[in-house]
Amino acid sequence: MPANPKYLSSNWQRFAKFSAGFLGGYLVTITLHLAMSFWINHVTLIITATFSAFILWAVLMIIAFLARNGWKIWGIYLLLSLLFSIVIYLSKTYNPITS
């Protein structure tokens, strides 16, 4: 018996969810770890990032597939990446570790 069509998403929504989960999740994960590297010992962070980055990326991918609207997830992931990028930029000008 086929699924009820009202519960299926369109092709564009599936593409948005997949790309947000795969690329957007990766972008958020990397920018978060880069932002944290300015505030935490970067050598320790690189060692733990090998595990935590994969776990965070997998969780963000699952969240993207569970969402109803893939474009909203893209927006959220891009805003998070922008926020972390601003933290990276500000951390380059003021780094509390070296001050």
| DSSP result, 12-81 | HHHHHHHHIIIIIHHHHHHHHHHHHHTTS-HHHHHHHHHHHHHHHHHHHHHHHHHSS-HHHHHHHHHHHH
pLDDT at position 98, please? 53
With pLDDT > 70 as the criterion, what percentage of the chain qualifies? Answer: 88
Give the list of residues 6+ apart from residue 33 with CB closer than 8 angstroms, or none.
Answer: 45, 49, 52, 53
Is a pLDDT exceeding 90 seen at residue 46?
A: no
Q: What is the pTM of this model?
A: 0.84
| Residue ranges of domains in the chain | 22-92
Mean pLDDT on 17-42: 92
